[in-house]
Structure 1
Amino acid sequence: MSAQPTLPSLDASFRSNCQRVSEAVQSVITGKPEAITNALVVLLAQGHLLVEDVPGVGKTMLAKSLARSVDCTVHRIQFTPDLLPSDVTGVSVYSPQTHEFTFHPGPIFANIVIADEINRANAKTQSALLECMEEQQVTVDSITHPLQRPFMVVATQNPVDSEGTFALPEAQRDRFMGRISMGYPARDAEVSMLTSHHSHQPLESLVPVLRQVDLQMMIEQVNLVTVTERLGAYVVDLGRATRQHPQVSLGASPRALLQWVRASKSYAAINGRDHVLPEDVRAVAPMVLSHRLILTRRALADGVDVENVVQEIISGTPIS
């Protein structure tokens, strides 16, 4: 049997680009290497990222620093209760001179869109992102407008029990490839932040370290990472286990399994492999599943943690 060719995604240039982006974001976000790695995994897997945590722990700063580290178009949308769908997608305006309607694109037309505090908008406005995130296009007045490639939504949100928030619908949560929580930094990292960041804003000095064309090439090369049929069956078994777990009322969808495989490919490439291992699948599982699994009322009443359920499913599902 002939050996598999080495993918260009695994050369020194690919690894160097990943390292440069990570270091650029780490210059702004202190003490959160795992969150930064997960954000990079989602970016290279052509997914969307949901950053959920309490206010003030760096959610928006992570999104802005990731966007600024790449030389591409970036737009930010501040979600509020009075935001309209047309404020996101754009609107057609009638011109008395030409007697025609002209489409004015909204802020969704960018390579990286920062949806800040997404769950402060109502469900109608949130639904404006559904077509954008799934099909990378916008339909206004029966006319479809394609979005730029690559395209990524980085959304931040506060916990749903915070004042003035609306829970994201299951259909929208399922469109996010991954969800991460920032958490409070370690003591040493917090001391370092106070020492170095009190007199200047590190985001202001952050310059792009990756060109858009390089990012697109890396995304295309990640797609070449190999996934065997056996590993695909393993992901399916894990997905079916989430649907059959007694403490889960809504398990992983087929879309979730597809995104799980894409995230695993990205994680494998970042770690220098041209093929996906079971370890890669397990490594990205909490990020891919934690926001998708809906626990039963009994489990919620008992205080069951969804991430513990994910780990239980992983440990209890062998690879055949």
Structure 2
Amino acid sequence: MIRVGIIGARGVGAIHAAVLAALPEVEVTTIAGTTPASAAAAARRLGVPRWTADLTELVSKVDAVHVCSPNDQHFEAVRLALAAGKHVLCEKPLTLTPDQADVLAATALQHGGITAVAYNYRYSVLVPRLRRLVSDGRLGEVHTIRASYLQAWGLEGRQSWRSDPARTGRSRVLSDIGVHLLDLVEFVGDTHFEALNTTFTGLSRTDPRCDDVAMATARSGDGIGLSFVASQISAGHANSLTISVDGRSASAEWSLTDAEVVTVSAAVPGLRTDVHAPASVAGEFWRAEPSPDSARRALFTDFYSAVATGTRPSRLPTFADGARHVRIVAAASEALTSRPQGGNDDSALSA
């Protein structure tokens, strides 16, 4: 039985605990919280036998560590776990700064255990099929990828650690959901981007510090163009993620809100629906609707398969992936002036 400790008992940490409870040969044995009282309450709520506010104690009692604390606490928690020789799965973003991320990525290369960043959307049920359409040449030469990730919670005016750039990162929207979108685009396109040309906007149209929305373009080293939007103030969108891939022969699209369908569209020579555009035929790849958290469960299954066998699946996100995304976000965030620090510490040790 693989013993697992979770650092960060609320928010996404509780989701990790629930998903891990369904995996065979894995047991969450210890929870770490901000204080002994908060850790004990979380452990009772999640049915975990041990709790602590001491990260060193947690690390000493487990085989693998899930880091689910606020972004500014990732670096020290991961570094501690790696130094103790533990397997580590860290929530995104890997760290706040490129220097920290590079240290962890370099350490992971020398580390005997398994490390990964929790980019779960690449494990969504039909995303591998979309990737194969690209890699098998079914779309022809890919020239453009368009993607969007839309949420609405920024309209609610809630304050938490995510409101504080010292804790969440210079750009909240990129650190929170932009990195997920960037990872998904790179995974599907089997490509890497090194920089984003980014414009930020938000509820305050005149405040240059406002980053509720990030609109970006980029070009990969192999010439693929990227256009994406990440927004946390899009009314009516609880968690809407869409990616479209355009090739010379066909285009394909997948959306998290219709996760069991990939739609492929291709021009039909000689047929027109009107005088302005060629007709297109759409083919849909379909399978049973995925269960909630199926992508996260698939990610965890890959991670613990690697822990058990020592063989790392190629799909598992690496610390090098996480570090590259931290560098991209840091550079893009230079477009923002310094923001005043604020927010309440009501979600400490939760992500």
Normalising by structure 1, what TM-score?
Answer: 0.27
More strand as a share of residues: 2
Normalising by structure 2, what TM-score?
Answer: 0.26
More helix as a share of residues: 1
